Amino acid sequence: MLGLLLAVLAGIFLGLIAGIVPGLHPNTIAAILADLHLGTDTFPFVIIAIAAAATVFECLRAIFLYVPDTDTVLSLLPGHRMLMEGKGMSAVAICSFAFLLSSALALLLLPISFLVFPMIYSIIAPVTSYFLLALSIVLLASERQVRKIAGALVCFCLAGVLGLIVFNYPVLREPLFPSFAGLFAISGLALSMSPSQPIPGQNKAAPRAPLSLMPIIALGTVLAALADLLPGISSPAQIAVFASIFTYMNSERFLALTSSISASHLIFALSALLTIGKARVGTIAIAGDAASIISPAWVFAMAGAALLAIGIASLSLVPLARRILPALQSAEPRTLNLLVLAYLFSLLYVTGGAPALLVASVASFIGAAPQLLGVRRTHVMGFILVPSIARLLLSV
């Protein structure tokens, strides 16, 4: 038991590093550790704790530094907006509450998922492409005005073409990082350069997540299962986009939704690995390969470790944010943006060379298009949706 606890604590520490350092993905740390051939029974628990803690700590990077990961690309939009409204600590508190509650709910629903996952997967897998196509049309139509629908279609198609090129001509080992860095981080930082706006003073009241968010967190927990069942929708961000079409969303509700999906998605991924043999999360695949046997008992133990890691990380989220925020507020905003941009471009060059810089540059122009056209930035998720639909249609 002590060895298991130490494994989880080690994973939380590594997850903290992966969560706050842009470009350092939990999959990368997990792959490096796997290459070391540690070969202990507790190794999978280190991996799940890394993934769980990184999921939590990534929200700090998305809210305060405007640099998302593939699962937090949409949470940065309402999160950073709340920061600039003086509600940054409230945004962090909402994330913390959503992470905790959704992961606990997912653990309670785990036995049910063992029964329903195989049945649901067998029904929806053959028609996933048509389902995604229909939802994409609804997403575009949600702009309601013809001019905005046309602008959204332009953004969706441009991002989709980029996705088709990047995923079908694999000159990059990891195409998601440069693409999402351009679509969201670089474009957002560039557009915020002028006029330069400092981080405003924040609300001094103790940050709290309103209990009225509990229904949206419960919805996110249930929807997270879709990220593990639907081929082509392995990202919680995509599920959040579709959910936002059908229910009222403000910044707080959307942030709670994306956070709850991200946390519970990790736990349901364990069930998907057991029941349908699909590991939709890279760290789960690595942990599964390291396990001697994948059984319901193993899944419950791993889910418990994930819940422990999420709990510890979530409870430390607000205190950590309180330490980070004053340093960011004292920095000159234009200088801070330039430093983040310089770091991103340096990291892109080191990890992917000139091709990564080219992809990120093209993606940044596409990422700026929604704001210039007056439509929601979520339409650039066509980057993943279009290749997913095309791949599924061609495989029929």
Distance between CA atoms of residues 139 and 133, nearest Å: 10
Range of the domain at 56: 2-395
- For residue 188, what pLDDT is reported? 78
Nearest to 77 by CA among 59, 90, 94, 93: 59
Q: Where are the beta strands (DSSP E) in 85-125?
A: none
pTM to 2 decimal places: 0.81
Give the contacts of 330 (CB within 8 A, at least 6 positions apart). none
- For residue 97, what pLDDT is reported? 94
CA distances from 196 to 76, 77, 81, 153 (A): 19, 18, 15, 30
- For residue 237, what pLDDT is reported? 61
Amino acid identity at 63: I
- For residue 70, what pLDDT is reported? 54
Q: Six-digit token pair at 61?
A: 């990077």
Q: Mean pLDDT by 10-residue block, N- to C-terminus, for the chain (396 residues)?
A: 85 90 76 71 89 91 69 62 85 94 96 92 83 85 88 94 89 82 82 65 72 90 81 61 66 88 91 86 82 89 95 94 84 78 88 90 93 85 87 73
Q: How many domains does the chain have?
A: 1
- For residue 11, what pLDDT is reported? 93
Q: Six-digit token pair at 266?
A: 């990790």
CA distances from 24 to 181, 184, 185, 327 (A): 13, 17, 15, 22
- For residue 132, what pLDDT is reported? 83
Distance between CA atoms of residues 158 and 266, nearest Å: 30
| DSSP secondary structure code for residue 38 in this structure | -
Distance between CA atoms of residues 42 and 5, nearest Å: 9
